[in-house]
Each structure stands twice: as C-alpha cells, then as structure tokens.
Amino acid sequence: MRELRLILEGEVALYAISNEISLDLPDLDAEDQGVLSGLMATAAEFCDVKVLCWHVTPRGYGALIRVAPPEAIEVSELIRRVSLWYGEGTTASLVNARDEDPKRFASLCRRHEKKMHSILEYARLFQPRFSRAMNRVWDRRGSVWRQRFRSYLLEDTAEVRTRFAGYIHTRPHGDPDMGVFSSLFQADAGDTLCQKRYGEITGARGWARIRECLGEEMLEMASRGMRPSCGTLDSQKVETARRRSRERQKNALFTDEAWMDFFEAYQLFVKNHGSHRFPKNRPNYDTLRYWVYLQRIYLKRGRLGSMRREHLESISFPTHVNGSRSQLSQKR
C-alpha cells in the first residue's frame, strides 16, 4: 500500500516536496528546467502557497512550502489568479457566468477555491502540465514523473527549516554548487525577495549571516546524503492527519468517478502495451498497479458490484497476477 501522506488542515503547515523524472527519460536541459521552475512559481501564486526555497535539477525538483488555511478572497483577485493559470478562455467563461448566471458563477468559484491553500492541489497543477509540455517535446504519452510526488510534514522551526533547505539544495547529487534554476542562486545574485525567504527559513538577519547558516547545513547534508529528521510534531495532529489521509486514499480509489478514471487509464494502458502486465521498474505505474491489485482481490472475494464487473469483463481483465489464465469471461 502507498505511504500515507500527512496533510494538516485548518492551520499553517510546512512541507518539503520533491520528485524526479522517469529513469528512462533524458536529463532536463536549461529550457526544460526554466519551464518547470516557471510553472512551479505560477502555480504557487494561483494556489496562494509560499515557496520558501526551491531547486530544479536536470532530474527533478525539490521545494520547501508553507501553506496557510483558506481565507476569503475577492472576486477580482480570484479572476486574476484564474487568468494567470488557466488563460483567457477559462477566465472569459468565469466572467460571463458572473454577469449572466450567478448560480453557475458561485459553483465555478468554489471549484477554483478548492484548489487553493493545498499542497496536494499545488503539485497536481504544475506536475501534469509539465508532463504535457515535455511529452510534446519528446513525442510520447503519460506522466514524465518517476512516481507520485513526495511530501513531508515538517516541524516549523528554524533548525528543521534550515536543514531541509540544505537538503533540497544538495540533492540529488550532493553538490553544494547551485545551478541557475534555484532560489539560492537568485538570492546570491541579489534577489531581495529570495533573501527575505531565506531569512524566514533560518531566522537569521543579514544576507551574510543567512548565507553562512545555509552553507553550514548544505555541507552537512552533502556529506550525509540522506533526508534529515522532520522534527517533533504533535502526536494528536499527526494521528488526525493519518486518519484524513486514509479517508482521502479511500475516496481517491473507490468513488464512482475515481474508479472510472482508473478503469479508463488501465484500458488505455492495455491498448498501448498490448498486455495486462505492467513493466518492471516503472514507478509511474505504481498507483494504477495498486488499483488493479485491489480489483483482483475484490473480485475473488465477491465484493465488486455488477456494473464494475461488467466493465472489467469488457477488457478480459485477468484475475491472476501473471495474466496467463482465468479471465473473467471464463468464470461467468
């Protein structure tokens, strides 16, 4: 089963997030890294999350994100953010609904607001869009990411923040020398906003002192080569986050809408690969593979509804992992 993702709701929370592109894909060049860093910044402005630091490498990204609870937003600001991320077409539809259909406009506003102040929605915005951009360049289909993005709920203290900033800036190769596509490079170049964010991370004042603190942690993280501790978190909050994560995981896999999305994705996989078997060492298929595994379990236990069973029968869904025998059609 996938590792539970701990998400705090209703209060300020700090996260470290990261991901890498698939092993079978080439390194991102400077233009690709610029596209990814730009999407991360634009998605952060739309979602109203604060990116304390970030680093885009030829193999992926890492970032330290602070997320505040949702708050009321002016209609003009909402429209501006929608225009920023979705463009003129979606914005025009939203404006027309405001002028002609208040009920539909309220529904659209709620839909967009649900995507704000959320670490989950933040990554779900820029990662798929980057995949589409790279697929056009590489003439391929599917996600370019090695796996679902990793997120760690952190204790919001200067010590933990600084250590994770050092970790982000030295991964994945343990090289303290920053590339162009990082907030630290921009801060070293004199970007006052980036310098201010690093001041929030370290709790130090003056760029010279802030840089000294960061340099010490980066050297330590480069020599350790492993993720630091997430700090000490309130046990009751952690347990609440675990419970909500289990509920999200269940809803993400078993609602009718989610089930059909997975079924269509599996149907497309079988069509493209000509097989029900998943290729080895392809983490980007982990979620779909887990969904398929659950369908086999529920079929054997008689816990799958007739409509879902009929959908699986239509593609000769194998009830054995090796797919060599026992199709559904043989058990009818």
Distance CA(180)–CA(308), nearest Å, equals 50
Tell me the pTM: 0.75
Cβ-in-10-Å burial (0-12, 13-18, 19+) of 232 comes to exposed
DSSP summary character for residue 172 = T
What length is written for the chain? 332
Q: Delimit the domains of the chain by residue range.
A: 13-69+117-224, 75-112, 255-330
- Nearest one of 207, 165, 209 to 190, comparing CA atoms: 207
Given the structure tokens 């060492």, which residue do they identify?
281
Q: Cα separations (Å) of 166 from 53, 147, 209, 284?
A: 10, 23, 15, 27
Helix (H, G, I), strand (E, B) or coil at 6: coil
Q: What is the pLDDT of residue 1?
A: 42
- Nearest one of 286, 233, 161 to 7, comparing CA atoms: 233
Tell me the CATH number of domain 13-69+117-224, given options 3.40.50.300, 3.40.140.10, 3.30.70.20, 3.30.70.1290.
3.30.70.1290
Helix (H, G, I), strand (E, B) or coil at 29: coil
Q: Number of helices (H) and strands (E) in the chain: give both, helices first.
A: 13, 4
Q: Which two tokens stand for residue 201?
A: 């991370």
Q: What is the pLDDT of residue 158?
A: 95
**In tens digits, what is the pLDDT along the chain, a chain of 332 residues?**
456 788 888 889 999 999 999 988 999 999 999 999 999 999 999 999 999 999 999 999 999 999 999 989 999 999 999 999 999 999 999 999 999 999 999 999 999 999 999 999 999 999 999 999 999 999 988 789 988 899 999 999 999 999 999 999 987 654 545 578 999 999 999 999 999 999 999 999 999 999 999 989 888 888 876 788 998 888 888 888 888 777 776 666 667 777 888 888 898 888 888 888 888 767 677 778 888 888 888 888 887 888 888 888 888 888 765 444 444 444 44
Backbone angles phi, psi at 61, to 5 degrees: -150, 165
